[in-house]
Amino acid sequence: MSWWQAVVLGLVQGLTEFLPVSSSGHLVLAERLTGVHTPGVFVEVALHIATLGSVLVVYGRRIVELTRGLLTGEGDHRGYVWLLVLATIPAGLVGVLFNDVIEAAFDSLAAVGAAFLLTGIILWSTRRLAGTREVPTTRSAIGIGLMQALAILPGVSRSGSTVSAALWSGLTPQRAAEFSFLMAVPTIGGAAVLEAKDAVAGVGAVGVGSLLLACVVAFVSGIWAIRLLVALLRRGHFYAFAPYCWAVGVLTLLLAWLAP
């Protein structure tokens, strides 16, 4: 992987991980268009870990607050952490049980294109939603977790599906974003553990320097994307990404048809 390919993949990951347009789907497209060929999904997972760092920076104070509350029992932090744990279980189960199916989906442009169209429908459904809840219920946490499990498929946006589910459950836009991004911490960490076995082969295929450059770019652009998304949520413009997802979905299906 050359330096310019690393910059492109890093930007794609950092911007699309948190903007509701599917980072995994865009990475599949970017790798196909730039000619990057890597074994399995190691590079995708490595870039996700980089954007995990973005979450830790933006929500670091909140994570420290939750950790302190979990240890001391102050406030209702233990309850909130339990909801986060509960919401990550579905994605964890899907990742372990259907890992081979998920990796195969990364090789199918047609499946990615269809998933982009689905993401657009999910985003469009959030028009005029303005909840008032600060914390999800147990039932809604499970529902948000199921949407995150669906988003393991490339083309289905993790942030788009989980934030949408949180908005459906009545959370305020700011709290919906926070819950979605905090859910990413154990989910991405679990994916990293699953793909650790391919680390040597993955690094050897793309090069240490290129991989580090891609991760740094993903980390920096991820911080910017989180702050942009929160600002758009506050203004009620979250659904505006739907037409973009539909356009990318159609173009991806055309690419799959023209270059199977």
Are the C-beta atoms of residues 109 and 256 closer than 8 Å to each other?
yes
How many beta carbons lie within 10 A of that of residue 102, not counting itself? Answer: 17
* Dist CA 175 CA 163 (whole Å): 9
Instruction: With H, G, I as helix, E, B as strand and everything else as coil, classify residue 171.
Output: strand
Whether residue 75 contacts residue 66, with contact meaning beta carbons closer than 8 Å, is answered with no
pLDDT at 193: 67
Q: How far is the C-alpha of 37 from the C-alpha of 34, rounded, in Å?
A: 9
The answer to whether the Cα torsion of 220, 95, 185, 122 is positive or negative is: positive
- CA 179 distance to own-chain centroid: 13
Phi, psi of 76 (to 5 degrees): -110, 30
Query: What's the confidence (pLDDT) of residue 105?
Result: 65
Q: How far apart are CA 219 and CA 15, in angstroms?
A: 9
- Taking the domains of the chain in order of start, what are their residue ranges? 3-258
Per-residue pLDDT of the chain (260 residues; tens, 9 = 90+): 777 778 888 888 888 888 988 877 887 777 777 776 655 566 777 787 888 889 899 999 999 998 888 888 776 788 899 999 999 888 878 877 776 666 666 667 888 899 999 999 999 999 877 788 999 999 999 999 999 988 888 889 988 999 999 999 999 998 999 999 898 887 777 766 665 555 555 555 667 788 889 899 999 999 999 999 989 888 888 899 999 999 999 999 998 888 75
Q: Which residue has the tokens 């295929």?
A: 205
